[in-house]
Structure 1
């Protein structure tokens, strides 16, 4: 339902999004039946396609040409998809969006090679782009995302980390790719440096808010809404924003200790969720997400008058207020 509401905000882009969707399907075609099946399994799980949408909207501020822009939107979504496959291996996740993950449907080795294949397809797609700056931004983005995946492994169950560690992690996990989507759409459409900067900063702030909301919903939404058990992040050792405010709570400390040794039972999970949901940590996390949203909206105001400004505002507000 939430995904449908989001898509209503950019129905006027549907024909171009359909082109992106078809290109993604073509890009994931492989001579290996196994990789082909695994890649399409992920694609068919759906998604908000928010990164390609940000590419398209940002490009609308300049010289818009879908035949050119699709060569940026597609690899960005492929990079995102590849990172999801790898994340599910790292987190040992069996479900994503209510559907079995690639690693659960097949195994870890198939998942890792599938993720690598999707990354490689992204690189192959980029060869159609002549703009050297686009290549530089994409390459830097991919390097930082890979660094982020390793940092996420290093930070698992590490209770002595601070908020700076958390912000660094979610920037690489989520905000960076949304930031790059806005920046690359602007660069590819020939926008001036001032407006490229505004769109890049908008993407960063929206991306940070997006991930914070995700981290909140992991505790507040139901198992059914999430398509996985609520509290999965902490179960897998990922210390997210609400937990930073509760690290000294005895039940949370005990849960982290048990989770690190794989001894959590359902009673522990429910007790942990009750503590988080009834705490001030949720309100504090929402307040921080809203700070990023306000910064994002400020960047939108600085952009030239264009019908896409309202779309950027509406999407940002939706992201900040979504329920799951």
Structure 2
């Protein structure tokens, strides 16, 4: 039902999305069979294409030119894809979206070079747009993403962290790229500066909500929906908001430590997942996600009255309420 709803939300600009999808395939062509196959492997694993959609919708608030906007959309989605390949190496993840990761299908070296190749392709696409502000926005985003990767490595398996550390991490891991998608779409279309800033703030708040929901779903969704085992973020050492609320709990705390050090049994993992689902940690995390979502919707309310405004609102609400 959720997937059908998402397709319906995209239906009004489906031709634009299909063009971007074709451009993504074109961008990943390579003379190297392994490089091409590894890159296409990730692309064909699917994805919600949230970032390209936000680029497209944000560009509607200026002088929309699909040929320019598509380049920005492809560049941002490629950066996202590259970060996923690198993330899977860092987390030693074998599954993503129900398929083997690039590092599992091949090896770590192939995965790292594939991520580098995808990132380089992103720079090729954005360099064809003659706008210094756009280039600067992308460069700033990429720097922050790399900082985020290092923060994630530093925080991995470390229970001695607080909620502020978590927010700092997901800001760079997810929120900034979505914020940049909105910002760069508006810049590419020559939107007014105040509109650019409002869209960027909207994207940031949506991105924070999006990642918190993702972290909740890691405990509540099925393996089929997640494309990986439930609770795998925890076993990979990623301390998310629900875990931060439970790390000092007398029942959950010892099991969380076991999950992090790799000594938890299958039955103990089932017990931990059941305990997390019945605790109020998920409700607390959802409340924080909803607060970010409300901030995003407030930014939308002050945007010009065009059809894209309602689309932004609908997709933001979907992100906050999604079940997969």
C-alpha deviation, 1:274, in angstroms: 1.1
SS of 2:5's partner is helix
Alignment match, 1:219: 219
Counterpart check, 1:24 vs 2:24: yes
**Cα deviation, residue 262, structure 1:** 2.3
Checking the alignment, whether the CA contact within 8 Å between 1:157 and 1:256 is kept in structure 2 is no
Structure 2 length normalisation: TM-score? 0.98
Per the alignment, residue 129 of structure 1 pairs with: 129
1:32-51 superposed Cα distances (whole Å, 9 cap, x missing partner): 11010000000000111110
Alignment of 1:1-324 (within 5 A): 1-324=1-324
Question: What is the SS of the residue equivalent to 1:61?
Answer: coil
Pairwise CA distance, 1:246: 0.5
Most deviating of 150-159 and 78-87 = 150-159
Superposed displacement of residue 5, structure 1: 1.8
CA contact (8 A) 1:7 1:48 kept: no
Measured after TM superposition, the shift of residue 159 of structure 1 is 1.0
> How far apart are the structure 2 equivalents of 1:104 and 1:124?
28
Give the whole-Å Cα distance in 2 for the aligned partners of 1:32 and 1:257.
43
Cα RMSD, aligned residues only: 1.0
Shift in Å, 1:297 = 0.5
Q: Name the TM-score, length of structure 1 as normaliser.
A: 0.98
Question: 2:4 and 2:81 mapped to 1: Cα distance?
Answer: 20
Name the CA distance, whole Å, in 2 between partners of 1:26 and 1:144: 27
Q: String of CA shifts for 1:1-45, please: whole Å, max 9, x gaps.
A: 533321211211111111100110011011111010000000000
Offset of residue 224 of structure 1: 1.6
What secondary structure, in the 3-state scheme, does the structure 2 residue paired with 1:245 have? helix
